[in-house]
Amino acid sequence: MEKLTSKEEEVMELIWQIGQCAPKDVSSLYPEPQPSANAIAQVFQALEKKGYLTHETKGRGFVYRPIVDKQAYGRGRLSSVINRFFRDSYMSVVSALMQEEKVTEADLLQYLADLKRKEG
């Protein structure tokens, strides 16, 4: 997946929330002063070019829908962070999470038990 700019990611977040939509639908979700539908349409076009959206004609305009789901995008971003900051070591990530007390030993043991149950 091609990396998104912060603005593209912000717009994708809104698209994932509402599903099939037009640029004006996303524009209306912003607080005042809202970006113009044309500005959002440009972001939609960039997202489509990068393979995140597809569109169909509806009336005189287009309706877009995501073709990359939020979880798939998140997994890709996580993988990139792990590669960049942890030298592609998932155990280093687990170690960091344990040091920060975000994951406990009990959490890990429960996860391992769940894995064994699924394999068995």
Task: Look at residue 120 and tell me whether its pLDDT is greater than 80.
Answer: no
pLDDT at 114: 94
pLDDT of residue 13: 97
For residues 17-29, give the mean pLDDT.
Answer: 97
Q: Are 26 and 11 in contact (CB under 8 A)?
A: yes
Whole-number pLDDT of residue 71: 96
Angle at 114 between CA 113 and CA 118, to 5 degrees: 115
pLDDT of 5 higher than 90 = yes
Under a CB-based contact definition with an 8 Å cutoff, are residues 105 and 98 in contact?
A: yes
Q: What is the pTM of this model?
A: 0.79
Q: How confident is the model at residue 1 (pLDDT cuts 50, 70, 90)?
A: confident
For the cut 90, the answer to whether the pLDDT of residue 54 exceeds it is yes
pLDDT for 22 beyond 90: yes
pLDDT of residue 119: 87
What local confidence, expressed as pLDDT, does residue 34 receive? Answer: 95
Which of 13, 19, 8, 4 lies closest to 44, judged by CA? 8
